[in-house]
Amino acid sequence: MKASLADRVHEEARPLAAEVPLVVDLDGTLLRTDSLLESLFVLAKEHPWSLLKLPLWLARGRARLKQLLASQSMPEVHALPYHLDLLRYLREQRQRGRRLILASGADERLARAIAEELGIFDQVLASDGYTNLTGEVKRDRLVSCFGKRGFDYVGNNRRDLAVWRCARRALLIGPSAGFENAVAEVAPLEQVFPKESARAGLYLQELRWHHWSKNVLVLVPLLAQLRLHDLRMLLPASLAVCGFCLAASSIYLLNDLLDLPDDRRHSWKKERPLASGRIPVGDAVALLPLLWLAAFAVATALPAAYLGALCAYLVLMLAYNFRLKEIRIVDALVLGCGYTLRILAGALALHMGVSPWLLGSSVLFFFSLALLKRYAELVMMEARGELHERARAYRIADATALATVGPTVAALAILVLALYPVADSAIHQARWWVWCIDALLLFWSQRMWLMGARGRIRDDPVMFALKDKMSVAVGIIVLLLMIAA
Q: Which amino acid is at 436?
A: C
143, HSE (Cβ side, Cα atoms, 13 Å): 13
What separation in angstroms does the CA of 416 have from each of 191, 296, 316, 338, 346?
67, 34, 24, 19, 21
What separation in angstroms does the CA of 75 have from each of 17, 252, 322?
33, 20, 17
**Please, is 362 exposed, middle or buried when counting C-beta atoms within 10 Å of its C-beta (0-12, 13-18, 19+)?**
buried
Q: How far is residue 414's CA from residue 438's CA, in Å, rounded to a whole number?
A: 6
Structure confidence at residue 155 (pLDDT): 93
Q: pTM for the whole thing?
A: 0.85
Helix (H) / strand (E) element for 181: namely helix 177-184
Contact 227, 254 (CB under 8 A): no
Q: Which amino acid is at 192?
A: V
> pLDDT tens-digit profile of 112-131?
999 999 999 999 999 999 99
Backbone angles phi, psi at 267, to 5 degrees: -60, -35
| Residues ≥6 apart with Cβ < 8 Å to 428 | 421, 422
Contact 228, 353 (CB under 8 A): no
Mean pLDDT of 387-394: 77
Residue 484 has pLDDT above 70, yes or no: yes
Q: How far is residue 38's CA from residue 47's CA, in Å, rounded to a whole number?
A: 14
Residue 392 has pLDDT above 80, yes or no: no
Lowest average pLDDT, out of 43-57, 153-167, 414-428, 468-482, goes to: 414-428
> pLDDT tens-digit profile of 147-194?
999 999 999 988 999 999 999 999 999 877 688 899 999 999 999 998
> pLDDT tens-digit profile of 303-325?
999 999 999 999 999 999 998 99
Task: State the pLDDT confidence band at 382, using cuts at 50, 70 and 90.
Answer: confident
Which domains, from first to last, does the chain contain? 5-193 (3.40.50.1000)
Residue 393 has pLDDT above 90, yes or no: no
Mean pLDDT of 186-213: 86
> Average pLDDT, whole number, for the chain?
89
* 267 or 295: which leads in pLDDT: 295
Task: State the pLDDT confidence band at 389, using cuts at 50, 70 and 90.
Answer: confident
Judged by DSSP in three states, 23 sits in: strand
Residue 228 has pLDDT above 80, yes or no: no
Mean pLDDT of 390-398: 84
Structure confidence at residue 24 (pLDDT): 97
